Amino acid sequence: MNVPANLKYTQSHEWTRLDADGLVTVGITDHAQEALGDMVFLELPQIGRKLQAGEECAVVESVKAASDVYAPISGEVVATNQEAVDTPEIINKDAYAAWLFKVKPDNAAEFSALMGADAYTAVADSD
């Protein structure tokens, strides 16, 4: 299982990365894309939307099923990945390169509190 050590994770299989500009980039994990199969459709949040941590904010849909994506942290959506919308299969190719959206965090401590790679590996293993 591919779980990069430099990222943080959620129980609901999102990965997050704190970028140098202070934004948090969000995607779904390799484990999640593997379980869902070939991606065919994405619905991403509007830019400017204020997210509450834990709320449904996007949908990834594969040949098999639709799956909700939850906001890992609270904050404002400042960017979405149009390339992933146009070609959802890039998520299957590299789930950590194919980010979904970027959030300007309300509170940096929320990011720090997310799971590290070891904890997430245990979560994914127990699926």
Binding site for other proteins (CB under 8 A): 37-38, 40-41, 43, 59, 61, 63-66, 89, 92
What token pair was written down for 50? 């204020």
Residue 109 Cβ vs other proteins, minimum distance, rounded to whole Å: 33
Residue 118 Cβ vs other proteins, minimum distance, rounded to whole Å: 26
The smaller minimum CB distance to other proteins, of residues 66 and 119, is found at: 66
What is the torsional sign of CA 115, 79, 71, 33? negative
**HEC secondary structure over 70-108:** ECCCCEEEEEECHHHHHCCCHHHHCCCCCCCEEEEECCH
The smaller minimum CB distance to other proteins, of residues 64 and 108, is found at: 64
Residue 102 Cβ vs other proteins, minimum distance, rounded to whole Å: 22
